[in-house]
Amino acid sequence: MSVREIRLFGDPILRQEAHEVGSFDRHLRRLARDMLETMRAAPGVGLAAPQVGVLKRLFTWEITFEEEDGTTTTGGAVVNPVLLERGDEEQTGEEGCLSFPGLFFPLARPRWARVRWQDLAGEEHTTEVEDLTARVWLHEMDHLDGILFIDHLALHDRQEAMRRMREQRLADEPEEPGENLLLRNLPG
């Protein structure tokens, strides 16, 4: 297993549509294992294949629920998900994305959805997801169509998110040698 590089906002692959998975082979299982490890290391509750640079309709997810008698962790890999139905009722919660490190915005999503999907062996399932699980699945399914969570935000929040990502990118870029020289000569 290995942790893969997570593509950040601005990388054009995040805007592309991912392709349906046809081969349920060891390459797919390896990709899913790497994505789970990458997601846990981040850490995050969901990760879509395009976020690690692979245009396949696959995402991983893992949520730990606090309960009276301890915690329960559920998750796994979801292949070729298809949204069958979504509830009219909405939920609003803070949402982020591993491709937008450190950014969270309140976002309304359907409170439940019914999704047809395949597991890593190609077996078909239909699952009704709700609350946080619905939020995560719908967020990751968006990624497979090149849709990002900022697309659901009001214009002001979307502009704020893009501005902060631009600032992060500029801060990460190596400085020009001349600039370094200048900084070294500054007091403090």
Please give the helix or strand (H or E) that residue 74 lies within, else none.
strand 70-86
Residue of minimal CB distance from Ni ion? 97
d(CA 106, CA 97): 12
Phi, psi of 70 (to 5 degrees): 120, -160
Q: Rank residues 118 and 140 by Cβ distance to Ni ion and give the closer one.
A: 140
**Which of the residues 128, 140, 160, 175 is marked catalytic?**
140
Closest approach of Ni ion to the CB of residue 139, in Å? 6
Closest approach of Ni ion to the CB of residue 96, in Å? 8
Which residues lie near Ni ion (CB under 5 A)? 97
Q: Is 140 a catalytic residue?
A: yes
Place of tokens 């629920």: 65
Closest approach of Ni ion to the CB of residue 164, in Å? 16
Q: Rank residues 101 and 122 by Cβ distance to Ni ion and give the closer one.
A: 101
Output the CA torsion sign for 67, 133, 51, 101: negative
d(CA 11, CA 103): 17
Q: Rank residues 21 and 97 by Cβ distance to Ni ion and give the closer one.
A: 97
Positions annotated as catalytic residues are 140
